[in-house]
Amino acid sequence: MSAPQKAKALAKRILGRHPMVTVPPAVANTYVEAGNQWYRPTLGGALTLAPRLGGGRVVREALAILDRLGEDVYLTFVRNFYLAGLAKYGDGWQYADINTALVGLAEVLQPAAYLEIGVRRGRSLAMVASKAPACHIVACDLFIENYANMENPGPDFVRSEVQRFGFSGTLEFIVGDSTRVLSPFFDERPGLFFDIITVDGDHTAAGAHADLINVMPRLKIGGALVFDDVSNPSHPELGQVWRDTVVARSELSTFTFDEIGFGVGVAIRHA
């Protein structure tokens, strides 16, 4: 047996298959050695990323971004909540939410492409846009009027919010029901994959499940999926949706923060 044949046979014994030779789209969070790829390419899984997704230092980063956004009653509450937690526990505060998760992920992954379902006034979107100002962002929302009893001003307002951070990338809006508008959009863009995807739109169990299933194939290897409200008492079914639809999958590693606030889930794709 020749040396390459021996190497392949050994790989098959160890891995149960030959070394991978085709490598799917990947992010900065990967290691790829063409023709000699023994491990799955992801460098940092959920354990590596978890400390970057919350805690006092990251809360301060998110706070600095909130401080530059237009006010609404929810944003004011979140800002005051952050200030109270930081005053009490400082850097030792163990807290995470959609904002801290997205700031941390955008810092580490430096996304070239970001998909967000559920944009509202652009708060979570600003977390990514401020850390990755050249990013291509696809933003999907129905812009339901008076959502959660707060105004939902639409794309022009969101555009003006991200301009506050000198955003120079592209911001593409897909306005409509995500379960209807995203599939045709994906069909038109077969080569489009994302470094980070957030699902925070339809908060029914069926709608959130459909969104997660729909977007997961568009996540790059090494990329991150973010799911909001895993412990929001107004949406008690979403934690179960997260566990059944995402945490249970073997090609992902996951971090779930659900002890304070509305909670957040983050999954890193490995295959």
Ligand X SMILES: C[S@@+](CC[C@H](N)C(=O)[O-])C[C@H]1O[C@@H](n2cnc3c(N)ncnc32)[C@H](O)[C@@H]1O
Task: Name the residues that contact ligand X, by CB under 6 A.
Answer: 98, 117-120, 123-124, 140-144, 147, 152, 177-179, 200-202, 207
Q: How far is the CB of 182 from ligand X (least distance, A)?
A: 9
- Cβ proximity to ligand X, 27 vs 125, nearer residue: 125
Q: How far is the CB of 118 from ligand X (least distance, A)?
A: 3
Q: How far is the CB of 124 from ligand X (least distance, A)?
A: 3
196, 161, 201, 202: which is closest to 68 by C-alpha? 161
- Cβ proximity to ligand X, 221 vs 241, nearer residue: 241
- Cβ proximity to ligand X, 48 vs 179, nearer residue: 179
Cα–Cα distances in angstroms (integers) from residue 154 to residues 38, 40, 71, 158, in the given order: 47, 40, 15, 7
60, 48, 57: which is closest to 268 by C-alpha? 48
- Cβ proximity to ligand X, 195 vs 200, nearer residue: 200
Q: How far is the CB of 217 from ligand X (least distance, A)?
A: 19
Give backbone dihedrals phi and psi of 180, rounded to 5 degrees, phi first: -105, -40
Q: How far is the CB of 211 from ligand X (least distance, A)?
A: 8
- Cβ proximity to ligand X, 125 vs 221, nearer residue: 125
Q: How far is the CB of 199 from ligand X (least distance, A)?
A: 9
SS3 sequence of the chain: CCHHHHHHHHHHHHHCCCCECCCCCECCCECCCCCCECCCCECCCHHHHHHHCCCHHHHHHHHHHHCCCCCCHHHHHHHHHHHHHHHHHHHHCCCCCHHHHHHHHHHHHCCCEEEEECCCCCHHHHHHHHHCCCCEEEEEECCCCCHHHCCCCCHHHHHHHHHCCCCCCEEEEEECCHHHHHHHHHHHCCCCCEEEEEECCCCCHHHHHHHHHHHHHHEEEEEEEEEECCCCCCCCCHHHHHHHHHHCCCCEEEEEECCCCCCEEEEEECC
- Cβ proximity to ligand X, 32 vs 206, nearer residue: 206
- Cβ proximity to ligand X, 116 vs 195, nearer residue: 116
Q: How far is the CB of 4 from ligand X (least distance, A)?
A: 50
